[in-house]
Chain A
């Protein structure tokens, strides 16, 4: 990894303001104690630790933050938020960052790409039926992430235990749900 010097110029970046707008969380309050990282169950698998993300938000390093895997690996368990001595909802900051990454169509890499693919697959089934469909979401994920037999063993076990239903469970007023997606889409495009 190249370690280019950080050019600090907070007039150029509105990252922390954008985060504040999205999440209501003021990242400038962070004093880098690292308790978020210390308690994060997923930190071991992240490319940047939660406190590093907070620091980068403070410094306005938008590209580094939005391209990190961390923001999508965060499971929103909110351990960080309830233990933050500065009362920052760190999990909400993470949530807002992945939303911003989605807005900018950043697909993510490696692990975070997989999270993103699954989320989209989940939402696709939701859009189709008004309710999510576990099997279809997992199949779509496998196809789109090019790993056709991923979690096949889990599927089989669940099938054997009678915990898989192939027929989708459809909401009668599925159009209402589709409308929700469409209206938000129009709103986002209009803006």
Chain B
């Protein structure tokens, strides 16, 4: 028989101003199992907590009910509090009579008091069924895996590694660097993107705690927080570690004119190539789909000219297992393929309609035009350049409802660059809103205006060619008139979308994505860099569109969280997880399919029946993976699954109490 103490809090006037707290305490004293009932102005205060400790000792309480605010606020406070008096901390039940009672029923105090009594009755009923729970100790592997070697992944890797932990980066492309190394200058400071990102790439490569896999993918993830086992697929590079990056192979390779992905097809590469001169590692790969040796079975030029015998045509894919304690997803973005969606802009058939990323490559001194802004159609310098914002963003009819956040600023930067590089040029920017929320962003926009960019408020409805030019049909909604611009080059600020394959990463690692495919953070405000899966973190555009400063900030934030996790040799496992009553489990494993954390596995058990032994399958819960969501308990037909702290019996007793 439980001996329950009830403690009702006034929370100053927050509860006491509405609910008749002494009346609730008087009623609570009458509930079954209650041996002590008291009220106090601030139960969470030092004297309030002392009051609970002494009552536990004095009245030999076995369970405690605190009726106050939401458990999110003070459940941990009171758990620690009763533990000081020698009770198991999980022998506490809270009744929320503030957020769910006094605050929402301010104008009906009598009903509020009645409701508070009901809520306390519920809590007492549950307290009567509580059982002591014990936290488990989970060992932590002090290594982190980072998926994606863009600026987010690199920044986080450096932060984590500098704190003394090992880091493994897995990057799909043949080099790390991501999208940032493609860019020319970065807003609002106009510093050279490559100049600030390539040193970080080198630092990562040279860091004794960082191991980098490029041209690799995460194949499989098993385990749980602190104890992940990851299989990395190292795709065959066809070039082994003898390579010094001398460049003889790609200089001699006879297969030319393959569109270079790094320049978005605006320049050509060989079949054996490094994506760009500052690539890390500076080791080429062979594009086996294009290489003559692989396509036709004969060539061997690169092998012949390699001075270090690094070319290995026989090399196969390799699978390596890495054990880590934390995982950071930083898989970045792609730009939406507008050519499939926007017929009114020509479905990509006009060569002089390009995306902002094409423009970046063009204006970049190491890009395909050596930094000159030229029309792809005829290589001429454009005089009138039109920028169209929100192509694919803010357009739920054709593409995405959301704002891609970085476009307003990079378009302002592009406008500046056109006006700076092409004397006498004209820039027209079609916009819906100019969004410059960021340090020194508004100032940058104003500078662009001052330099002569013509901002026109209206969306473009159609682009079509006329002679050597493009006619851009837009509107000036501020004047209420249609606008037509005779343009030489049109640059589209296309929407950012999660990078190709990011859904597979989410599936492989085991966390959720939002409606647009971006990785879902645990809480949009309070847990922005964590997923709902323990030990898995997020950074960069894979979580939602953002610019470089925000990406780097988020990467360091995620790194801090990971460093925090890895600073422990053991972490406490929450005891409020699912458990299986093996005697009742039928082994149907309906729970396995429903578990979002892949925490349920089949297990064989041996049962002794009279005269024989029977082997059968039952469900088993991995305590490291289980997050205590309770989905499995609902799916379990025989009722064999129970969530500790929220057992079927406990919940039913609450329902009974409320239905009295």
A and B touching (Cβ–Cβ under 8 A): yes
A residues sitting closer than 8 Å to B (CB atoms) are: 31-40, 43-44, 48-49, 51-52, 79, 83-87
For residue B458, CB closer than 8 A to chain A, the reply is yes
Question: Is there contact, CB below 8 Å, between B396 and A87?
Answer: yes
Question: Is there contact, CB below 8 Å, between A38 and B475?
Answer: yes
Question: Is there contact, CB below 8 Å, between B397 and A49?
Answer: no
- Against A, the Cβ 8 Å flags (1 = close, 0 = not) of B474-493 are 11110011110000000000
Supply 20 further A-B pairs (C-beta < 8 A) apart from A33-B477, A83-B344, A86-B397.
Answer: A31-B432, A33-B390, A33-B458, A34-B457, A34-B474, A35-B458, A35-B460, A36-B461, A38-B483, A43-B481, A48-B480, A49-B477, A49-B480, A49-B481, A51-B475, A79-B461, A83-B461, A85-B397, A85-B398, A85-B459
- Against A, the Cβ 8 Å flags (1 = close, 0 = not) of B455-480 are 00111111000000000011111001
Question: Is there contact, CB below 8 Å, between B397 and A84?
Answer: yes
Chain B residues with Cβ below 8 Å from A52 are: 477, 480
Question: Is there contact, CB below 8 Å, between B461 and A87?
Answer: no
Q: Assess A86 versus B396: contact at CB under 8 Å? Given A31-B432, A49-B482.
A: yes
The docked-state distance in angstroms from the alpha carbon of A31 to that of B390 is 13
23 contacts between A and B (CB under 8 A): A31-B394, A32-B432, A33-B477, A34-B459, A34-B476, A35-B475, A37-B477, A38-B458, A38-B459, A38-B474, A38-B475, A38-B483, A39-B462, A40-B461, A44-B482, A49-B481, A51-B458, A52-B480, A83-B344, A84-B397, A85-B395, A85-B396, A85-B459
The 8 residue pairs across chains A and B that have the minimum distance between CB atoms: A39-B461, A34-B458, A38-B461, A85-B395, A34-B477, A38-B475, A34-B475, A35-B459
The docked-state distance in angstroms from the alpha carbon of A86 to that of B459 is 13
Chain B residues with Cβ below 8 Å from A48 are: 480
Interface size on B, residues (CB 8 A): 23
CB distance from A78 to the nearest CB of B (A): 13
> From B478, which residue of chain A is reached at the shortest CB distance?
A34
Q: Give the contacts of B385-421 with A (CB-CB under 8 A).
A: 390, 394-398
Chain A residues with Cβ below 8 Å from B475 are: 34-35, 37-38, 43, 49, 51
From A32, A34, A36, A86, residue with most partner B Cβ within 10 Å: A34
Question: Is there contact, CB below 8 Å, between A33 and B481?
Answer: no
The docked-state distance in angstroms from the alpha carbon of A115 to that of B295 is 67
Q: Give the contacts of B483-528 with A (CB-CB under 8 A).
A: 483
Question: Is there contact, CB below 8 Å, between B462 and A38?
Answer: yes
The docked-state distance in angstroms from the alpha carbon of A84 to that of B477 is 15
CB distance from B89 to the nearest CB of A (A): 51
Chain B residues with Cβ below 8 Å from A87 are: 396-397
Question: Is there contact, CB below 8 Å, between B396 and A39?
Answer: no
Question: Is there contact, CB below 8 Å, between B397 and A33?
Answer: no
The docked-state distance in angstroms from the alpha carbon of A15 to that of B432 is 25
CB distance from A45 to the nearest CB of B (A): 10
The docked-state distance in angstroms from the alpha carbon of A138 to that of B411 is 52
Question: Is there contact, CB below 8 Å, between A51 and B477?
Answer: yes
Partner of A40, one of B397, B459, B482: B482
- Against A, the Cβ 8 Å flags (1 = close, 0 = not) of B591-634 are 00000000000000000000000000000000000000000000
Chain A residues with Cβ below 8 Å from B481 are: 37, 43, 49
Question: Is there contact, CB below 8 Å, between A32 and B477?
Answer: yes
Chain A residues with Cβ below 8 Å from B461 are: 35-36, 38-40, 79, 83
The docked-state distance in angstroms from the alpha carbon of A86 to that of B395 is 7
Chain A residues with Cβ below 8 Å from B397 are: 83-87
Chain A residues with Cβ below 8 Å from B459 are: 33-35, 38, 85
